[in-house]
Amino acid sequence: MNKKFHSSGLGVVTLVMIFAVLALTVFALLTLNTARAEQALAEKTALAVQNYYNADSKATILCATLQQELHDNPILHTFTWKDIEVQLTRDKRGIVGNYSCPVDSNQALAVRILFTTDHYRIEKWRVENNLSWENDQHLPVWIGE
Amino acid sequence: MKNISRSSVSGIFLIEMLFSILIFAIIATICAKIFVGSYFIAADSAKLNSAVVLAENYAECFKAQEGSLAGVSDILGGKYTMNALENGYNEKWLPVTDAQQAKYLLELTITTEYPDCLCGNVAIKDNNDQLVYQLKVTTLEGDHE
């Protein structure tokens, strides 16, 4: 009879409680971690979009400024506007202007514009990586030795 | 003796039960706070993501329409005046015509800071007049292909 009393569920409640608390804590921390990661990603995306449109605005204003400068001074070879240097080359189609506006530390908006006598044509308006990288040609395969 | 043992075991079981419930209640309260905090962080992230997408839509329409607010309004809706466009959005980011139902207000204002360029400022505010997201975009006027 005494044996029956000693095995009457003492400690089971504590074990169930420990399991429930652990599960609850783990799920709560995972949820918080996911939410914070989502927030960081959203802020990063918002900043990247702002950076891109800032560079895009600079490139657009520079395009208009350059057109005006070329209209006033058609023999222009280089032009600098707010630390952005424009390389001007001439070919049979007209004057080609090349410049790049920084988007962030790793990317820049590369622009190439063809200026003719009465209008201009945007030939390139593309985000390019600044970082140089090399292909890894090393293949660590077993050659039988 | 048997009666004392039985009441003693019941007492210990009761104390264990109360202790477990107390610990569980404390941990559950902390976890509930974490869940609620995560919910609000996730809601903020979703709001920012939606605002970024909406601002990008308006910015690209503004560029495509070469700064014409009438053209932007035809595509994305909204009421426009000479140099400003407004559109209201509900909590699901769907456009609403009634300003009273709008939870978010998008404003697109045009400035002419540079010659031959139109600068647009896309600002999205919530109904507490708090800025959610802002994007500056510039487009060219004139002949280009």
Task: Check CB contact under 8 Å for A6 and B9.
Answer: yes
Of B5, B31, B139, the CB nearest to A60: B139
ipTM value for the complex:
0.84
Task: Check CB contact under 8 Å for A122 and B145.
Answer: yes
For residue A52, what pLDDT band results from cuts at 50, 70 and 90?
Answer: very high
pLDDT at B4: 54
Give per-residue pLDDT as tens, A77-115: 777 888 888 888 888 888 888 999 999 988 999 999 998
Report percent pLDDT > 70 for chain A.
94
- Please give the mean pLDDT across all residues of chain B: 88
Closest Cα to residue B94, out of B84, B79, B106?
B106
**Residue with tokens 């202790």, as numbered in its chain:** B19
Contacts A116 to B, Cβ<8 Å: none
Task: Give the whole-angstrom CA distance, residue A24 versus residue A18.
Answer: 10
Closest-CA residue of B relative to A63 is B140
The residue among A27, A57, A62, A113 with the most chain B CBs within 10 A of its CB, best to mutate, is A57
Minimal C-alpha gap between A110 and chain B (Å): 17
B55 with B122: CB under 8 angstroms? yes
Question: pTM of the prediction?
Answer: 0.82
Helix (H) or strand (E) holding B123: strand B117-126
- How many CA atoms lie less than 13 Å away from A5 in the CB half-sphere? 14
Give per-residue pLDDT as tens, B67-77: 888 888 899 88
Closest-CA residue of B relative to A39 is B45
